[in-house]
Structures are given as structure tokens and as C-alpha cells.
Amino acid sequence: MSKRAFNFNAGPAALPLEVLERAQAEFVDYRNTGMSIMEMSHRGAVYEAVHNEAQERLLSLLGNPSGYKVLFIQGGASTQFAMIPMNFLGQGHAANYVMTGSWADKALKEAKLIGETHVAASSEESKYMSLPKLADIQLSDNAAYLHLTSNETIEGTQFKDFPDTGAVPLICDMSSDILSRPFDLRRFGMVYAGAQKNLGPSGVAVVIVREDLITDSPKHLPTMLRYNTYLKNNSLYNTPPSFGIYMINEVLKWIEEKGGLAGVQDMNRKKAALIYDAIDNSGGFYRGCVNPDSRSDMNITFRLETEELEKEFVKASEKEGFVGLKGHRSVGGLRASVYNAVPYESCKALVDFMEHFKNNR
Ligand SMILES: *Cc1c(COP(=O)(O)O)cnc(C)c1O
């Protein structure tokens, strides 16, 4: 078997080795069809079974609450930033946003292009190193929806709980922590995620939405930008990113095998605790960026005393087979992204390396 890197990439990110190997085994000849899943019609029974299975599996992992549909949409989570206000922000209403960091900011910017917006809470004052308290979220009177980013991938924060927004739909960008832990879908009008962090390869965004919210998309919108189009056509109005959806289905099977969302949460907590402990017990050599009560179990951000030292750390880590530990270019520092598929062994190797680096300089 080929050697696998200790992959801490932020996205696209590590996929489960078992999934890659199964995909490899079926790559050239998918279940005796004589072709790859990539080579067959998206209108045929073989592909459609995979497509439907992925949707069913996803809802099943979330406990099958009634009234929700799974859509597959291209253009990544970033296109959702625009589609959300286009579809849900009507005249006389304001799109409400919780400002938690870089991705929330991008989502808000798109909404501003479409209509009126309102910042319902913000942690900008802390440079986004802590999250706003749920009790401090102030909706505007005419809120069309409240948008929240469950996990800020760049800063490394993660909500542990979600606000109760009553009749106002709660819409959540879960790109970097979807299916990393159990959550109650019934509290959300819609959740969405670009696949390339916790679900599969890039090229598809998964949208899980309450059907009643999208039965009537605004008629002036282009067909491909109306949620309604995806609902009516089971996300097969045009050619879907079929290989990506097949991969998502395989990742979902893997999550089931790991004990579902409770099972992966257990793994994720152990991995994150291992690394945060190494940071906190380093006598100040490593410094966590985020306030402990807002820390993410998916993206662990930390710093060293100087940028010089951080550069040295990254360079030395690369020599030892680690990938992706450099922080995002917008904030600097260091970041270990430990999504579902990053094995505990990689995290153990990382803390061993951190210890070694600390003691040998
Ligand atoms: C990566 C990421 C995005 C952007 O996803 P694309 O699929 O590249 O558009 C949006 N939100 C969050 C929280 C992310 O981590």
C-alpha cells in the first residue's frame, strides 16, 4: 500500500482511506456495468439508485425528521451565500447574520448585494476569537431568516449549541462541521455544506432544507438559482456532479459503520482533546488562538511566539510527512484541521511532533 500523509488540510481535506479504497475497487467497472459511475447516464437506474441512497442515508443519519429534503447543488457553499438571500429575502424584510469570522463575513457580503441586512450579533470585537453568546442574538423585527456559521474554519471557532429563532427560519453554513456530531435538524430551516471538508470531494454542496420553505421560489430568478428547481427535479434538472455524489454516499456508509454521528463525535472529541491538551500543557510554547469555550473540534488554531518560529515549525513538519499545518493566509499562525476522516493516529503523530519540536530547539 502507498504511504499516506498526515493530512491536516483545511479543504479539500482527508477522506477515509476505506472509502478511497472501495471507490478504487469499483472505479473502472461499477458493479458489473462495464463502466465507471462517472461514465454512465445520470438518467439511468444505476446512477439514480446511488443518488437517492445518498439522500436517504443523510436524512437517516439525522434521525429522519419529517418535511426535509436533500438537494445537491454545484458552485460550492459560496454559491449558497447568494442563493439564500435570492430565494428567501423578500421586499420589506432583512436578512439577519451572526458575524463570527471570515465565512460569515462572505455570506453577509452576498446578502448585501441582494437586499436589506441586519447584523444580529457579532464577535468582531474579540477579533473573532470567541463566539457571541446565543442570548445576545438580536433579530430585527422583519427578519427573513437568521444565518449562522456553525464552525469558522479559518479562525477555529465552533458553536456548541444553536439559538431558538421561533418562526424565523434558522439557516446554517455547516461546511466545516456537518456530520461531525449529532444535531437536531428540526431546529433549522436549512443547513448546507460544501462537500470537500466532511462529506466527500469538492464540486457539490449539500443542502438540507424544510420543503415548505422552497415550494415557491421567486419566479424572476434564473432556473438554476431557484431551490424549487432542485426540489421538483430531485436535483436532476441538469447533470449533477455524479461522481461527487457517489463519493458522498460512500462517506455516509463509513459514518454509519463508525457508529453514526454519536460515534464520529466520540472520535472527534478524542482527537481534538489530544491536540488542545498538547497546546495547553506546553508551558506557553504553543498558544491556542481561540477562547477555550468557543474552540472548534474541527479546526484547531494555534500560534508560536514568533512568525519565524511558526515558519520553522511548518517546514520541519513537512519534512516529517505532515501536510496542511500552515494557518490560513488571512490570519497566519498554525492550524490543524481534524475533520471526521483524519485518523487518531495522525493526531497522535502530530502531538509527538509538537513535543519533539518544542524540546529540540
Ligand atoms: C470552505 C467553506 C466555505 C466555502 O466553500 P466552497 O465550497 O469553497 O464555496 C464556506 N463556508 C465555510 C464555513 C467553509 O469552511
Indicate the burial class of 102 (C-beta count within 10 angstroms; 0-12, 13-18, 19 or more). Answer: middle
Left (φ > 0), alpha (ψ -120 to 50) or beta: where does 8 sit? Answer: alpha
C-alpha cell at 58: 443523510
Which atom of ligand 1 lies closest to the CA of 78?
9
Any binding-site annotation on 32? Answer: no
Which atom of ligand 1 lies closest to the CA of 202?
7
* Residue 29: active-site member: no
Q: Measure 175 CA to ligand 1 centroid, in angstroms.
A: 6
Q: Measure 247 CA to ligand 1 centroid, in angstroms.
A: 18
Which value, to the nearest 10 degrees, does the dihedral of the CA atoms of residues 182, 177, 81, 184 take? 10
Any binding-site annotation on 228? Answer: no
* Residue 197: active-site member: yes
In DSSP terms, 282 is beta-bridged to none
DSSP letters spanning 262-325: HHHHHHHHHHHHHHHHHHHTSTTSSEESS-GGGB-SSEEEEE-SSHHHHHHHHHHHHHTTEE--
Nearest in space to 251 (alpha carbons), one of 69, 23, 45: 23
CA distances from 25 to 19, 21, 31, 104 (A): 10, 6, 10, 39
Any binding-site annotation on 216? Answer: no
Q: Which backbone phi and psi does 323 adopt, to 5 degrees?
A: -130, 140
d(CA 258, CA 57): 14
**For the packed helices 102-114 and 76-88, what is the interaxial angle rounded to 10 degrees?**
40
CB 290, CB 129: distance < 8 Å: yes
d(CA 209, CA 265): 23
Any binding-site annotation on 254? Answer: no
79: helix, strand or coil: helix
Chain-centroid distance, C-alpha 189? 17
d(CA 256, CA 271): 19
Task: Report, in angstroms and rounded to the nearest whole number, the Rg of the chain calculated over CA atoms.
Answer: 21
Q: Measure 296 CA to ligand 1 centroid, in angstroms.
A: 16
The pLDDT profile of the chain, 361 residues, written as one tens digit per residue, is 568 999 999 999 999 999 999 999 999 999 999 999 999 999 999 999 999 999 999 999 999 999 999 999 999 999 999 999 999 999 999 999 999 999 999 999 999 999 999 999 999 999 999 999 999 999 999 999 999 999 999 999 999 999 999 999 999 999 999 999 999 999 999 999 999 999 999 999 999 999 999 998 899 999 999 999 999 999 999 999 999 999 999 999 999 999 999 999 999 999 999 999 999 999 999 999 999 999 999 999 999 999 999 999 999 999 999 999 999 988 889 999 999 999 999 999 999 999 999 999 8
Which atom of ligand 1 lies closest to the CA of 150?
13
**Residue nearest ligand 1's atom 7 by CA:** 76
Nearest in space to 59 (alpha carbons), one of 185, 221, 146: 185
Residues 38-97 have pLDDT tens digits of 999 999 999 999 999 999 999 999 999 999 999 999 999 999 999 999 999 999 999 999
Q: Which residue ranges have their beta carbon within 6 Å of ligand 1?
A: 11, 76-78, 103, 149, 153, 173, 175-176, 194, 197
* Residue 184: active-site member: no
In DSSP terms, 335 is beta-bridged to 301
Q: Which of 69, 103, 177, 271 is an active site residue?
A: 103
Candidate from 108, 157, 176 with most ligand 1 atoms within 8 A of CB, to mutate: 176
Q: Which of 69, 177, 197, 271 is an active site residue?
A: 197
